């Protein structure tokens, strides 16, 4: 199928992980959707690399605890937001551009009784609908690659954080320049708008006014994780087609194969960044 990706919304509207497939899988295994608890969702709604341990790493880096006001940039279906609310007692606002994912996240949060602690807002991370100095922490996981102007997103994160507030996120990085053909496929398949290196990320954080505390190269770990995720997606495609839910488009699977190969050859990868607003 020819790709017609114009934005991350086009990509996520067709993404194989959706609220519908999560609920369909849960109903098939449990026999009912009544009485769902947050822990029931966690095997299905954590659409990032490293699962719950990655959430814990960001929570530690951002010093998230009971009552912490947290913003999740490009929050998707809200899996990490619900985990931080349930596990750490945080009050989490998810900012997500895709209307279907905002609605899906809200439904999942309601079904597990977390809609009082987790709210999802349809919005753009380059123009956050939040007050100045109103948040304790900003997080994001493998999502800022979709943002055309990461510098603006960092500036907005700095604006909404209180003094001493922290940003902790993981994102794709490039370790060498990519040929145009590879960049185009990563756009066509996964709406990868901004592919930059570790030092470029660090420079943009400093330009936004942050003091960098830690940068951790996650590339070796991602090589293994992404191979497993590729197999998961191949299985999920058939399950989504059988359930009549979005199953992803052809270029998604082609680009994912390329992405996994590039990471395993350490030409691309990922990093976790932690920085503080002084």
Q: What is the pLDDT of residues 173-211, one digit of tens each?
A: 999 999 999 999 999 999 999 999 999 999 999 999 999
Taking 70 as the threshold, does the pLDDT of residue 241 lie above it? Answer: yes
List beta partners, residue 53: none
Q: How confident is the model at residue 7 (pLDDT cuts 50, 70, 90)?
A: confident
The secondary structure of 102-115 as a DSSP string is HHHHHHHHHHTT-T
- Residue 246's pLDDT is what? 80
Taking 90 as the threshold, does the pLDDT of residue 14 lie above it? no
pLDDT for res 114: 98
- Per DSSP, 155 falls in state H
What is the pLDDT of the chain when averaged over all its residues? Answer: 95
DSSP 275: E
CA distances from 141 to 39, 68, 273 (A): 20, 18, 10
239 forms beta bridges with: none
Q: What percent of the chain has pLDDT over 70?
A: 98
* Beta carbons of 21 and 43 less than 8 angstroms apart: no
Strands 161-174 and 135-141: parallel
At residue 249 the predicted structure's pLDDT band, cuts being 50, 70 and 90, is confident
Q: What is the pTM of this model?
A: 0.93
CA distance 192 to 4: 14
**pLDDT tens, position by position, 223-240:** 999 999 999 988 888 888
Predicted confidence (pLDDT) at residue 58 exceeds the cutoff of 60: yes
């Amino acid at each position: 199928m020819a790709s017609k990706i114009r934005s991350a919304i086009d990509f996520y509207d067709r993404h194989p992980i959706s609220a519908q497939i999560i609920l369909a899988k849960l109903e098939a295994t449990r026999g009912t959707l009544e009485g769902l608890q947050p822990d029931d969702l966690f095997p299905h709604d954590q659409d990032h690399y490293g699962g719950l341990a990655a959430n814990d790493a960001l929570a530690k880096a951002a010093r998230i605890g009971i009552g912490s006001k947290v913003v999740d940039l490009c929050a998707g279906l809200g899996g990490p937001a619900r985990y931080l609310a349930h596990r750490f007692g945080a009050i989490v606002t998810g900012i997500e551009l895709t209307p279907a994912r905002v609605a899906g996240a809200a439904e999942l949060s309601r079904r597990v009784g977390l809609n009082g602690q987790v709210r999802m807002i349809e919005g753009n991370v380059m123009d956050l609908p939040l007050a100045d100095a109103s948040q304790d922490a900003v997080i994001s996981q493998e999502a800022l690659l979709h943002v055309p102007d990461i510098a603006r997103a960092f500036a907005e994160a700095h604006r909404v954080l209180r003094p001493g507030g922290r940003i902790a996120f993981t994102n794709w990085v490039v370790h060498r320049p990519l040929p145009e053909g590879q960049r185009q496929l990563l756009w066509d398949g996964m709406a990868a708008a901004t592919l930059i290196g570790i030092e470029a990320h660090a420079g943009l954080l400093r330009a936004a006014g942050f003091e960098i505390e830690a940068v951790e190269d996650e590339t070796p770990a991602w090589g293994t994780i992404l191979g497993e995720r590729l197999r998961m997606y191949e299985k999920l495609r058939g399950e989504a087609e059988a359930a009549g839910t979005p199953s992803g488009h052809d270029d998604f699977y082609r680009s994912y194969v390329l992405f996994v190969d590039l990471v395993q050859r350490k030409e691309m990868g990922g990093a976790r960044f932690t920085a503080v607003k002084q």
